[in-house]
Amino acid sequence: MKVLTVVGARPQFIKAAVVSRHLRKTTEEIIVHTGQHYDYNMSEIFFEELNIPKPNYNLGISGGSHGEMTGKMLISIEKVLKVEKPDKLLVYGDTNSTLAAALAAVKLDIPVYHVEAGNRLGTFSNPEEINRICTDHVATVLMSCTESAVKFLESEGLSSRTHLVGDPMYDAFLYYKGKAAEKDMYKFTDLNGNTFLCPDDFYYLTCHRQENTSTDKKLTEILKAMNSLDAPTIYPVHPRNHDIAFQICQTNTFKNILLTQPVGYLTSLSLVNRAKKIVTDSGGLQREAFFAEKKCVTVFDHVVWPETMIENRNQLAAPCYEDILAKLETDQRIDPMYKPFGDGHAGEKIGAFLQ
Ligand code: UD1
Ligand code: UDP
């Protein structure tokens, strides 16, 4: 059995780390990196820290419009599939790399195995929604993280191909949290290349979605809210909005925000575990906040992970100063028995489907 895995973006490297470890015990795996994320701290650091096997191919495709990026990937992935002739294609999540790989494989009659299938927001204004829906509908096996995702797939007539396996991000959280705790957390690099020390008390912010960063107004409101808090905010900035975040903080003298370069996964997990509270628009970080039992405010119009929203553990906020502060003040309640993301063995289950 030969499986070809296509990854391209930061959260996919983390999921691949978990799954590849199990998959490779029984199966030959070829890894194709599309190149969608390419900076050292958006890509290579994950392969190094998480011991992910080096990609067999790096297609070097990134940037441009969604159509241009997806189209170029489709052409290049098809060429690799024709050379490698895998029995199965494995893809994760909802990026342009996911969609391009799924389309290339299905047109060559190669069965597509989709991890993190079934999440739905109900709007095509979110670029990832298009990727998720198209990938799910051409895939042969749909592996979902949660019950709510399984229900969405049922409602689209896909239940015969759907399996609830749990969330590989939960596996990763459990597996790496010890290593993350050992991580030297004292030094960060700011956007000028200077180092600063990690404060004892801090909030953790990530914000990179197209929806929040395509205009200055929304990001300014988010940063204004964070700047007003009772402890500094650590904000590792995605390269998409690096320049604009820097400029907003300078113009408004937001001195309570510590902008940093993107960090590796172990540092990010350590920040999750040590932060007072978390504000984010990241799908991954919302779940990590939930796993770590940290209060989370998600600056987004849509619920992506409904299971995290229970008992105010995760709340949506508009990109607006007052709403973010109000939601941060709301107390959460935690039922330690409520574990909707599986048993921490999603990787084994996914590996078993691919044998
Ligand atoms: C993508 C995914 C999103 C996921 C995110 C993970 C799509 C449609 N979206 O969004 O679902 O949450 O990855 O982080 O696929 N850039 C760099 N260096 C890098 C990576 C990106 O400079 O290493 C810049 C490029 O100029 C690029 C821009 O960031 O144009 C945006 O990157 P892109 O991969 O298009 O989208 P993400 O926002 O990362
Ligand atoms: N993350 C990271 N470094 C950072 C910011 C985030 O390693 O500087 C991790 C974070 O802990 C989570 C994952 O990246 O595991 C989430 O990825 P991202 O927010 O890019 O994508 P999404 O989950 O929204 O698709």
Verify that 78 and 214 share a domain, yes or no: no
Cα angle 161, 164, 165 (rounded to 5 degrees) comes to 115
| Both structure tokens of 36 | 């969608």
Residue of 36, 91, 132 to test ligand 1 pocket, by largest number of atoms within 8 Å of CB: 36
In the reported structure, the alpha carbon of residue 325 is separated from the centroid of ligand 1 by a whole-number distance in angstroms of 28
208 is an active site residue? yes
- Which of these three, 164, 189, 215, is where a domain ends? 164
pLDDT of residue 215: 86
- Dist CA 19 CA 44 (whole Å): 18
304 and 184 share a domain? yes
Could you tell me the CATH number of the domain that includes residue 198? Answer: 3.40.50.2000
Question: Do 202 and 85 reside in the same domain of the chain?
Answer: no
Sign of torsion over alpha carbons 135, 284, 32, 347: negative
End-to-end CA gap in the chain = 7
Q: Is 206 in the pocket of ligand 2 (CB under 6 A)?
A: yes
pLDDT of residue 161: 98
Count how many Cα atoms sit within 13 Å of the Cα of residue 233 in the half-sphere of its side chain.
Answer: 25
How does pLDDT run across 216-271, given as a tens digit for each residue? 999 999 999 999 999 999 999 999 999 999 999 999 999 999 999 999 999 999 99
Contacting residues for 261 by C-beta, under 8 A, at least 6 apart: 41, 189, 190, 191, 236, 237
Report which of residues 179 and 15 the model is more confident about: 15
Domain count for the chain, please give it.
Answer: 2
Q: Which atom of ligand 1 is nearest to the CA of 93?
A: 11
Contacts for 322 with CB less than 8 Å, ≥ 6 apart:
none
| Residue from 33, 47, 95, 128 whose mutation best tests the ligand 1 pocket (most atoms within 8 A of CB) | 95
Per DSSP (E only), the strands in 177-242 are 187-189, 195-197, 203-206, 233-236
For 161-185, the pLDDT digits (tens) are 999 999 999 999 999 999 888 876 6
The helix (run of H) or strand (run of E) holding residue 351 is helix 346-354
Q: Judge if the beta carbon of residue 353 lies within 6 A of ligand 1.
A: no
Task: Report how far ligand 1's centroid is from the alpha carbon of 37 (Å).
Answer: 6
Q: 10: domain range?
A: 2-164
The CA 355 to ligand 1 mean position distance, Å, reads 31
**Is residue 113 in contact with ligand 2, taking CB distance under 6 Å?**
no
Catalytic residue among 163, 208, 238, 302: 208
298 and 212 together in one domain = yes
Q: What are the tens digits of pLDDT across the range 102-124?
A: 999 999 999 999 999 999 999 99
Instruction: Decide if 335 is inside a domain.
Output: no
Residue nearest to atom 12 of ligand 2 (CA): 284
Q: Identify whether residues 80 and 122 lie together within a single domain.
A: yes
Q: Which residues pair with 236 in a beta bridge?
A: 260
Whether residue 127 is found in the same domain as residue 156: yes
Structure tokens at 28: 């030959």
